[in-house]
Amino acid sequence: MNTTRVKITCVGPPRSGKSFISNVLAEICEAPSSRYRPTVGVRIVEVEREKVTCELWDVSGDQRYSSCWPAIQQGVSGALFVYDAEVQTADLETWYHSFATSLGLTPTQCMLVCNVKRPDMERTPQPPGRFHALKECGNFCVVSGSTLAAFREAFGAFLDKAVASQEAKVRSEEEALLK
């Protein structure tokens, strides 16, 4: 059976919960660690689905690793933009520009993830400004301790869109070569 491989980046500001989100998707954990351990550069985990293997690149939120970004951005099929529900999201614009706009990713290839760390914050927050387009195409998810299964399901639907976009791009490139 053929398995499609895709590369998805998981990006956002420091301490937003990118590693927790990556661990949940890779089924490494079900709850955030009580101790904060910043990612150094990048960490890659695999998310297995029936016909898709996803390399999920958990990118450090620390700007000092931005020199690694060009290598990380190679061959990206989609991006998760993670933010903390309790923290201002101004940095998200920078992340979106660096990991979506500059790579030509469409809204269907991007997913906005609102990480809710406190149960009293579980009301459905609205996505910030320009990110409403991601909500409109179904790529906005609020993650909390009680929504992990629904988040995995939403990520699966997002992954299907990323695979379809990747396959369409390959077909387009092949057709251009044949002309």
Structure tokens at 98: 């660096």
Check the CA dihedral 98-141-48-4 and report its sign. Answer: negative
CA distances from 20 to 30, 82, 115 (A): 8, 10, 9
pLDDT of the residue at 153: 93
- The pLDDT tens digits for 57-100 are 999 999 999 999 999 999 999 999 999 888 867 788 889 999 99
Domain span at residue 106 reads 4-178
Whether the Cβ atoms of residue 81 and residue 139 lie closer than 8 Å to each other: no
- In this structure, what CATH number is given to the domain that contains residue 75? 3.40.50.300
pLDDT band at 119 (very low <50, low <70, confident <90, very high): low
Contact 112, 139 (CB under 8 A): yes
Q: Between β-strands 42-48 and 52-59, what pairing exists: parallel, antiparallel or unpaired?
A: antiparallel
Q: What is the count of structural domains for the chain?
A: 1
